[in-house]
Chains A and B, each alone.
Chain A
Amino acid sequence: MKDSITQKAGIITAVAFGVVLVSTAGYSTVSAQGLPEGFKKGELAAEPSAEMIEAGKRVYFTKCVWCHGVDGAGDGPGADRLWPRPRNFNQGTFKIRHTASGELPLFDAKKPIPGQNDLFETVTHGLPGSAMPPWEGILSEEQRQQVLSFVTTQLVKDRKFTDKQSESQTVLQLADLKPKPATDESKKRGGELIVEKKCVECHGMEGRGDGNAFNLKDDWGFSIQPANWHKCWNFRGSRQDPYSVSNIFRTFSTGVNGTPMPSFADNTTVDERWDIANFVNSLCERDPLGNPLPIDPLTDKPKINFVIPSDMVEGEIPTDLEHEAWKKAPRRYVAMGGQITHKPRNFVNRLDDIWVRSLYNDKHIVYLLEWDDRTKSVAEGKLPWAPTQVNIDVKEQDPKTGEEGSIAAHQNNYAVYNDAIAIETAVKWKELPAPIKPRYLFGTNEQFPVDIVKWEADGSLRAFKGTGWDKDFEERDNYEEAMKLLKAEWKNGRWYVMIQRPVGNKKDQDYDEDTFFEVGQYIPTVFFAWDGHNGDAGRKMAVSAFYYTFMNPPVPQETYIYPVVIAVGVVLLEGWILTRRSNRKKGKAL
């Protein structure tokens, strides 16, 4: 017993040393009490009551055990197919805290107060970007506190939340620190600081998390990736308020325990931290006017508009992204999920959104697809499947974590295939029964096929015909010459791909095989994407829901004529009512 305590103390000291080593690399800004700026000493909370713990056990074994496991080691039945993996509670390592790096998070079974109870907030809001859902509205406040009482006392095994000998609380006083206004000057300074503090080494030159995408590991040896600053809705701890600088400030001040993200509290001033937070926040995707994207409160991701409008341009469609026509073209957020319908299934999906714009002229329609991918992947070897093949017989049930070939072992360790993107559109969509959508994946049948255009990072642009969910594709060589790759560039963690194809006419194209794009009509469109470093190939890919391509028509003349006619009609009607009323009154008076 004593032995194990000394051993644990030893580990903690070692960890603390590690932290100190990392964090004192720069110069140090320490306050009079020896605490970093913005922090104050806190008290350890009292142990939760035995009733709370017992009640929490019931919550845990109904809701949590499935991912976090019987002993809280993050090894429940769901764990093997998740990445990021469920938390292993045993070491008491928690990410989202107001406490200094290496310390236990704030938890008080009697105080479910935001800002003073880190674990309670984590359970309430979940961890966006991971599989941990928000439990607000599902578990009552009391139940959330109960389950945390159970977890902190029974499942955190290496540390003790109430042990004054080994634990301390140094609490970031976030409520007392006023955010600095996000002026251009502050953001500029933040932009310089992230280079100076070496943030870019992991998070990348543009902050897309592409700096050191392969070698980072968490405390348990699992592969881990730096955050993409352009998707603030995926920041852990950011739910329902992703554009908040305070969340970034907190992460930056306290670090993320268990990961390579250190605390910068010791080598930055509070003022500098606000500058950095302002800069990082300014990178998150915004609408053309610079306002935050509207966030869907049900999914905590940007709201989705399923119509992708395409603007008309006269003459050639520009290939320059800076061209005015592209700047003006509406940009749509297309959410992507893992394809888990057909083998090989993509449980760990790394491309969770793409951005689409479109322009057309009398002959062609162009899609501009942009998406963040931390790695540029061009196939090193031969693809395991022909690109036309969809029925693949693969052994799929990955072994348990820790064994050879598990998802956890594979992560960042796959054979590299091509990054790719594909657009699936319906053929003869006008003849499909309402609501003019073919079967979702790869078409309905021979009569109602889909037209798939796929670009791959090796530079190829190919066309396929899909005739059904379990039918192999047919390659359409004759169509490939009709298409044109206008742009394909990977820069600082983002792909920019521009694909041009004919709008279709009966003289040059085949009505039975090609999608004909018509102005002012809703053309069902699905997007597929592959991340080559994630082992994505064939059906292991990301898929979107059905979207619609809509080519904005020029305004017809009737739009200007009819309203005038209607207005004149209303004037006549008014005259009639007034005459009638005054006649009636006259009649009465007589």
Chain B
Amino acid sequence: MKALMSLGALIGVAGLLLLGGMTFGVIPSTTVRLVEGYMPIQLLLEIASYVIGFTGLSYMLSAMGMALPRFWQGIGFWIFLMLYLKFRVYPPIPFSVRAMYGTVGLVTVFMWVSANEEDWKKFKQPIMNVLDAQTGMNRLLRYVYLVLIPILIGGFSFNAMMPKSEEPIELRTVHPAPPASTKVHGKTYTLQTSQNPYRVNPEGKYDQEYSNANIVEQGMGRLMKPNANPWDEKNQGYLKYVREGGEIFFQNCHFCHGDNLNGRGLHAFAFNPIPANFTDPGTIAQLQETFIFWRVSKGGIGLPNEGFPWASVMPPWEQHLTVDEIWKVVLFEYWHTGYYPRTWD
């Protein structure tokens, strides 16, 4: 038990030093990198190891006779959480979201310290001690608090009222509801019933199963299946069209959506909102092929009213590409990310 706990304590100390060092720039902030695509799970794991670390730490401290009162444990953990959210998580989350997490964290800490009557008593004991001011130390503390709290709160409100020029927060609909049908190059496509004409097997028949069997493999790298090279000249059907779609993608789309379809293209850094990341399971993996067809054809300018702020520079590609080319690009995007388009059934 003791060995286990000291291991935990070691994790806790190391983690705190690492985080502190990275926050204050003592050690390079890239020492522990956030790996793209695995960020949420990585952060959860990190927090979990901190919790383990703290458990070990508090156990070791109390074993050494320097037990930290429950009161400070609770406050300390909450402060740690807030600092972690502010300095560790990247890209930075806005204050309003952090405030939400902070509230949840506070409630959690409260639940923890008030799990039973005894714990709750232990927790509020220091507060009561200061209020009662039985000892000289506590009396001093009481006066310090009496003066400090109004000054702090006054200071905070002064700070909050000073005119600031922080960027206003904008919310935006990521996937606005599509129309029932869309007219591209003079032809009307019903979004519910349309199919990608290039999702076909070598015999030329629409074949979802065949195409799904030939997309890239999920997992690191998302590489093509060994026997499904779109650059093989003998290809017929699906893979041939994937290659044609890729050629169009790399002449038109990669400038923003990136070589790896992750929204990190050559020009992407200049735009806000940043271009869509197709490798994210929240984008094309959630949508029907026809939805993509509609968004590509009509671009940012074709967004419905609820799709504001319309800051999208996505062009209506119908001005640059034919219907066939758009379908092929859509086909390529699903191939390259290894996602199956959603279907209606």
Interface, chain A (partner B; CB < 8 A): 58-59, 61-63, 65-67, 70, 76-78, 80-82, 130-131, 133, 135, 137-140, 143, 240, 296-301, 304-307, 309, 335-343, 345, 347, 349, 352, 433-435, 437, 439-441, 469, 520, 522, 543-546, 548, 550, 552-553, 555-556, 558-560, 562-564, 566-568, 570-571, 574, 577-578, 581, 585
How would you classify the secondary structure of chain A's contact residues: helix, strand, loop or mixed? Answer: loop
Q: How far is the CA of A130 from the CA of B271 in the complex (A)?
A: 17
- Which B-chain residue is minimally distant from A135 (CB atoms)? B260
CB proximity of B208 to chain A, nearest CB, Å: 22
The secondary structure that dominates the B interface is loop
- The answer to whether B223 and A62 have CB atoms under 8 Å apart is yes
Nearest Cβ on chain A to B56's Cβ, whole angstroms: 31
In contact, A61 and B250 (Cβ under 8 angstroms): no
Q: Digitize B185-229: 1 where CB-to-A-CB distance is under 8 Å, 0 elsewhere.
A: 000000000000000000000000000000010001111101001
Q: Which one of B30, B151, B271 contacts A567 once the chains associate, using CB atoms below 8 Å?
A: B151
List the A side residues contacting B268 at CB < 8 Å: 299, 337
Kindly list chain B residues whose C-beta atoms are within 8 Å of the C-beta of A298. 90-91, 264
**B residues adjacent to A (C-beta < 8 A):** 30, 35-37, 90-91, 131-132, 146, 149-151, 153-155, 157-158, 161-163, 165-168, 170-171, 216, 220-224, 226, 229-231, 246-252, 254-256, 258-260, 262, 264-272, 299-301, 308-315, 319-320, 336
Q: Out of A62, A81, A349, which one reaches B216, CB within 8 Å?
A: A62
With CB as the reference atom, state the residue of chain B lying closest to A338: B267
* Chain A residues within 8 Å of B221, by CB: 59, 62-63, 138-140, 143
* 29 A-B contacts (beta carbon < 8 Å): A62-B221, A66-B247, A80-B251, A131-B254, A133-B258, A133-B260, A138-B260, A301-B269, A306-B272, A307-B165, A309-B165, A337-B255, A337-B269, A340-B252, A341-B313, A435-B170, A437-B309, A437-B310, A520-B163, A544-B270, A545-B270, A546-B311, A550-B165, A559-B163, A563-B157, A567-B150, A567-B151, A567-B154, A581-B131
Known: A556-B163, A566-B154. A66 touches B255 (CB 8 A): no
Nearest residue in A to B171 (C-beta to C-beta)? Answer: A435
Q: Assess the A336–B223 pair: CB atoms within 8 A.
A: no
Residues of A contacting B309 in the complex (Cβ-Cβ under 8 angstroms): 435, 437, 546
Q: Which residues does chain A contribute within 8 Å of B158, judged by CB atoms?
A: 559-560, 563
Q: Which of B36, B131, B161, B254 is close to A563, meaning CB atoms less than 8 Å apart?
A: B161
Assembly CA distance A343 to B153 (angstroms): 56
Supposing A66-B246, A341-B313 touch, asked if A133 and B264 sit within 8 A by C-beta, the answer is: yes
CB-CB < 8 A to B250: which residues of A? 66-67, 76-78
Nearest neighbor of B128 in chain A, beta-carbon distance: A581
A426 vs B251: C-alpha distance when bound (angstroms): 33
Query: How many angstroms between the C-alpha atoms of A577 and B309 in the bound complex?
Result: 49
Report Cα–Cα, A301/B153, bound state, in Å: 38
For A433, give the chain B residue with the smallest CB separation.
B308
Contacts A131-B254, A296-B269 known; 17 new A-B pairs at CB < 8 A: A63-B221, A66-B250, A77-B246, A77-B248, A77-B250, A78-B254, A297-B90, A299-B264, A335-B270, A337-B269, A338-B255, A435-B168, A469-B301, A543-B313, A545-B270, A546-B309, A556-B163
